[in-house]
Amino acid sequence: MATTSQPDYGNPGYWDERYAASDGSPFDWYMPFKMLLPHLQPYLSSSTDFEILIPGCGTSTMGADLYDLGYVNVTNIDTSSVVVNQMNDKYQDREEMEFTVMDACNLEHLPDACFDLVIDKAMFDSQLCSATNLTSITSLTSEMHRVLKPGGTYLVVSYGLPPTRMGYLTPKGLGWAVEYKKMQKPMVENSKEVQGNSDHHFLYSCRKKL
């Protein structure tokens, strides 16, 4: 019986081809923003200088949805120049929000301690599916820790059960506090791609020490 290999989600070329072939319609992994928002609210702040990073934004509406709720300092990054161009065109009326081509595993153009909150919805999982997953995950968590302000939080929305994720999120040297909670899956999944066998998704909260 022939087997179908899983796409190399860690390869930017895969995403460029995927987005170039799409019509640019919004797509949110795992759950829509309105379902995720109650879980995000404890980590959000109304402070005017509250900075949010969304790595691997794709065509998600999350950045725009947060912006429309008043969280205007949102930086969306993706390795695909195709989708970044699409999103810049689509949301050009939201002047403070940025869409930038950048690799979340190598944020060399970003200074240390510049974000209060990072919201990673499926980016972490996609790196685990890459051909160089261990190197990618190590680089990703290190960079997320570096760009967080002291006391800031890296949120990871994942289909992975804690035994399959906690080891990657708690490497030696980072020293952040990691907690997790279950989130009920939507009744109807809007993706045919593998998203785990549990009835729940998980929210991992990684808080940088003050």
Is 106 inside a domain boundary?
A: yes
Is 162 inside a domain boundary?
A: yes
Residue range 45-65: mean pLDDT, rounded: 96
3-state secondary structure of 169: helix
Distance, in Å, from the CA atom of 80 to the CA atom of 102, rounded to the nearest integer, reads 8
Is 10 inside a domain boundary?
A: no
Residue range 31-42: mean pLDDT, rounded: 97
Cβ–Cβ under 8 Å, residues 174 and 142: yes
Cβ neighbour number for residue 34 with a 10 Å cutoff:
10
Is 180 inside a domain boundary?
A: yes
3-state secondary structure of 2: coil
Residue 191 — very low, low, confident or very high, per pLDDT cuts 50/70/90? very low
- Has residue 71 got a pLDDT over 70? yes
pLDDT at 197: 55
Is 152 inside a domain boundary?
A: yes
Distance, in Å, from the CA atom of 122 to the CA atom of 55, rounded to the nearest integer, reads 9
**Tens-place pLDDT, residues 133-166:** 778 899 999 999 999 999 999 999 999 999 999 9
Cβ–Cβ under 8 Å, residues 23 and 45: no
List the beta strands (DSSP E) in 83-160.
Answer: 98-101, 115-121, 148-158
Q: Can you give the CATH number for the domain in which 67 is found?
A: 3.40.50.150
Is 21 inside a domain boundary?
A: no
pTM of the entire structure? Answer: 0.91
109 is in which domain, residue-wise?
A: 48-207
- Strands 200-207 and 148-158, by their bridges, are antiparallel
Is 26 inside a domain boundary?
A: no
Is 3 inside a domain boundary?
A: no
Residue 193 — very low, low, confident or very high, per pLDDT cuts 50/70/90? very low
Count how many domains the chain has. Answer: 1
Residue 14 — very low, low, confident or very high, per pLDDT cuts 50/70/90? confident
Residue range 200-210: mean pLDDT, rounded: 96
